[in-house]
Chains A and B, each alone.
Chain A
Amino acid sequence: KNEVEQSPQNLTAQEGEFITINCSYSVGISALHWLQQHPGGGIVSLFMLSSGKKKHGRLIATINIQEKHSSLHITASHPRDSAVYICAVRSVNSNTGNQFYFGTGTSLTVIP
Chain B
Amino acid sequence: NAGVTQTPKFQVLKTGQSMTLQCAQDMNHEYMSWYRQDPGMGLRLIHYSVGAGITDQGEVPNGYNVSRSTTEDFPLRLLSAAPSQTSVYFCASSYMGHSYNEQFFGPGTRLTVL
Chain A residues proximal to chain B, CB less than 8 Å: 2, 4, 30-31, 33, 35, 41-45, 48, 86, 88, 90, 96-105
Contact = CB atoms under 8 A, between A and B. Distances in A.
What are the 10 tightest A-B residue pairs by CB atom distance, in nearest-first order? A102-B42, A43-B105, A42-B107, A102-B43, A104-B42, A98-B31, A48-B102, A45-B102, A103-B42, A42-B105
Contacts of A99: 45
Q: Is the interface of A mostly helix, strand, loop or mixed?
A: strand
A44 B107 CA distance: 9
A100 B103 contact: yes
Interface residues of B, number: 24
Interface in B7-62: 31, 33, 35, 40-45, 48, 50, 56
Contacts of B33: 98, 100
B90 interface: yes
Nearest to B40: A104
